[in-house]
Amino acid sequence: MSERPRRTYRATQRAGPKAARPAGPRAGMMRIDVYTVFPEYLEGALSASLLGKARAGGLLDVRMHDPRDWSTDAHRSVDDAPFGGGAGMVMMAEPLFAAVEATEPIRPLFLLSPSGRRFDQSLARELVAGDGFSLVCGRYEGVDQRVAEHLCDDELSVGDYVLAGGEAAALIVIEAVARLVPGVLGNDESPAHESFTDGLLEEPQYTRPAEFRGWEVPEVLRSGDHGRIEQWRRAQALRRTLARRPDLLDDSSLSVEDQALLEEFPAPEDG
């Protein structure tokens, strides 16, 4: 079977029961809708540190929706046994469709799934360019396939491993995107000097004291020569990427300038 092509994200909403349309994000605010049966799992992390400050400061609008609130039985069930048999339970389509149709989330709407498109820094930059996005957190043994095919715009995976549910993955996606929103980090230049921004891993970082248990900060970083410091940083980023993540480089050949930097500046542990 051929791989399903990546979908084009839709700006329009699907047909369904209408509720009062939620207010859209203010200018400069990133809106994120999250569908989860464990909103309390997310609320603590989303109220702390940079994310909490971004929400309080009006830069980030995270709205959580519990599909149990749209369940049609007295037990607020959202899962059932899989057709064809098998271990575990599967999240039902009906509560998720009802929740999404009632709340009209901002699009694109992603299902967090091990079979989805790999989430990376490039996609984080793509998402921050819009007004927001939405996430569906799976649980149990999976989610009814009709949710992936007919409700969501695409599927996202945060790595080649299995989690108990999509909530941890949702936190990864939200934090990676939110920190790119102007004003969230306080210093808008910070994201420009981090791993993956220019296709390389970030160079080693040091702070005081200059000497600790016999290990010294490289002399160039204490020199005050900002031109040479930038050259050193470029050299170390190249060296680290070649050693640990050569797949991040476009090819195995380096420019003459980069080769010269690697020769001029040794790795910190080399001297």
Rounded to a whole number, what is the distance in angstroms from the first to the last CA of the chain?
54
pLDDT bracket for residue 271 (50, 70, 90): very low
- At 19 the pLDDT is 42
Does the pLDDT at position 198 exceed 60? yes
The CATH number of 30-178, from 3.40.1440.10, 3.40.1280.10, 3.30.930.10, 3.40.50.1100, is 3.40.1280.10
- At 270 the pLDDT is 47
Fold of domain 195-270: Trp Operon Repressor; Chain A (1.10.1270)
pLDDT bracket for residue 238 (50, 70, 90): very high
pLDDT bracket for residue 249 (50, 70, 90): confident
DSSP state for residue 215 in the 8-state scheme: E
Does the pLDDT at position 153 exceed 60? yes
Note whether 136 and 109 are within 8 A (CB).
yes
Domain with CATH 1.10.1270.20 in the chain: 195-270
Domain with CATH 3.40.1280.10 in the chain: 30-178
Instruction: Give percent of the chain above pLDDT 70.
Output: 84
Q: What is the mean pLDDT of residues 119-133?
A: 96
Query: Which of 140, 160, 141, 152 has its CA nearest to residue 4?
Result: 152
Tokens of 210: 């200059």
Q: What is the pTM of this model?
A: 0.83
